[in-house]
């Protein structure tokens, strides 16, 4: 839809615009209003270059693109009935809870094994544990490959599928080789298109699931969904969208909580929404409230940093991780709230 700056294009302007869209096999339908006339593009109006050229004309205010830039992830796509499943939980039908350490301490595997058992006992369906860590401070602990073995050992002890973040192609290869079930793409890599493409290629034909975090800096929701489209494009659409708070922060919280975007995402995409309250609010005392808000907003799942003894944790755990008894209470309350939604 082309909106001119004035109420109507002159004949010369109309000719120029028509000339551009015809180069892209489109045409223009004129819609005359009482005051303003608008110009609908007929044909495939997703050509970026066509839109840029029309928008570049000095007498054009803007071009509204009504077609979705994400064909596969769109709520109207043929994939809308695609069922993402994690650890026997069918997303959308039942609440999914992923829980575990921010960071696995390679020197203390026992702590992770204890947390893994406690997560299972509390009713969690999948285990999270950071092996490689994206740290803002380059001198902070960056994670260790040794933790991959611990993660997989915890999976085989509990029977729970596991989630870990991959930051580059080497991690991706090692994680898939080890049998990691859920690949997490962190907020810092959420717009790393070359990594997204490589993950899409690597998981095609597998039942691997991706937990795609929302980028840290607020961007349009379409940008978030388009990031998922990069992955789905290669054939595996098992993608969960994970809002985790954005910058700038809300005073008192680590980030600006964004669980409220859930209904907006659901209007645009069929992808399940799994909220990460831990990185959003950044303090264990606020996590429970954030989880409840997420469920009230219609989220399909939660990914919560949980630790048997947060004070002995590394990474974010001492500040953010809840303990398994709190996890158990959150799951019970979230399920009650979930039941009220229908
Ligand atoms: C994490 O899950 O521990 C993490 C680093 O997440 P994010 O990418 O959302 O900061
Ligand atoms: Mn963390």
Residues 57-71 pLDDT 10s: 999 999 987 677 788
Distance CA 280, CA 269 (A): 22
- Residue nearest atom 9 in ligand 1 by C-alpha distance: 187
- Residue nearest atom 6 in ligand 1 by C-alpha distance: 186
**Contact predicate 1/37, CB 8 Å:** no
Ordered domains of the chain (ranges, CATH): 2-63 (3.30.70), 78-340 (3.20.20.70)
Residues 282-313 pLDDT 10s: 999 999 999 999 999 999 999 999 999 999 99
Atom index in ligand 1 nearest the CA of residue 279 equals: 9
Q: Is 130 in the pocket of ligand 1 (CB under 6 A)?
A: yes
Q: What is the pLDDT of residue 66?
A: 67
pTM score: 0.90
Q: Is 274 in the pocket of ligand 1 (CB under 6 A)?
A: no
Q: Which of 332, 315, 316 is nearest to 324 (CA)?
A: 332
Ligand 2 centroid – CA 23 distance (Å): 50
Distance CA 88, CA 153 (A): 20
Whole-number mean pLDDT of the chain?
95
Residues 159-215 pLDDT 10s: 999 999 999 999 999 999 999 999 999 999 999 999 999 999 999 999 999 999 999
Ligand 2 centroid – CA 304 distance (Å): 9
Q: What is the pLDDT of residue 170?
A: 97
Q: What is the pLDDT of residue 304?
A: 98
Q: Which of 232, 280, 271 is nearest to 252 (CA)?
A: 280
Q: Is 120 in the pocket of ligand 1 (CB under 6 A)?
A: no
Joined together, the tokens standing for residue 133 give 């860590």
């Amino acid at each position: 839809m082309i909106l001119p700056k004035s109420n109507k294009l002159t004949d010369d302007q109309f000719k120029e615009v028509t000339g551009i869209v015809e180069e892209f096999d489109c045409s223009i339908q004129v819609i005359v209003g009482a005051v303003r006339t608008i110009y609908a593009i007929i044909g495939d109006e997703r050509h970026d270059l066509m839109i840029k050229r029309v928008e570049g004309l000095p007498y054009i205010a803007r071009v509204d693109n009504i077609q979705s830039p994400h064909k596969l992830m769109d709520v109207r796509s043929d994939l809308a009935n695609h069922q993402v499943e994690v650890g026997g939980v069918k997303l959308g039908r039942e609440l999914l809870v992923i829980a575990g350490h921010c960071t696995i301490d390679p020197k203390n595997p026992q702590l992770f094994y204890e947390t893994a058992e406690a997560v299972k006992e509390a009713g969690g369906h999948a285990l999270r544990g950071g092996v490689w860590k994206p740290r803002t401070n380059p001198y902070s602990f960056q994670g260790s490959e040794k933790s991959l073995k611990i993660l997989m050992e915890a999976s085989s002890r509990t029977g729970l599928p596991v989630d870990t973040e991959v930051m580059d192609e080497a991690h991706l290869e090692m994680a898939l080789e080890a049998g990691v079930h859920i690949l997490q793409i962190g907020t810092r890599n959420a717009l790393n298109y070359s990594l997204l493409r490589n993950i899409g290629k690597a998981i095609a034909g597998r039942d691997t699931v991706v937990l795609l975090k929302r980028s840290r800096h607020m961007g349009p929701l379409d940008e978030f969904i388009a990031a998922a489209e990069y992955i789905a494009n290669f054939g595996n659409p098992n993608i969960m969208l994970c809002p985790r708070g954005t910058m700038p922060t809300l005073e008192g919280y680590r980030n600006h909580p964004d669980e409220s975007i859930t209904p907006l995402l659901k209007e645009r995409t069929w992808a399940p929404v799994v909220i990460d309250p831990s990185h959003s609010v950044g303090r264990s005392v606020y996590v429970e409230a954030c989880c409840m808000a997420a469920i009230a907003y219609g989220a399909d799942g939660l990914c919560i940093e949980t630790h048997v003894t947060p004070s002995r944790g590394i990474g974010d755990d001492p500040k953010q991780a809840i303990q398994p008894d709190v996890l158990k209470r959150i799951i019970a309350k979230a399920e009650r709230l979930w039941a009220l939604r229908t």
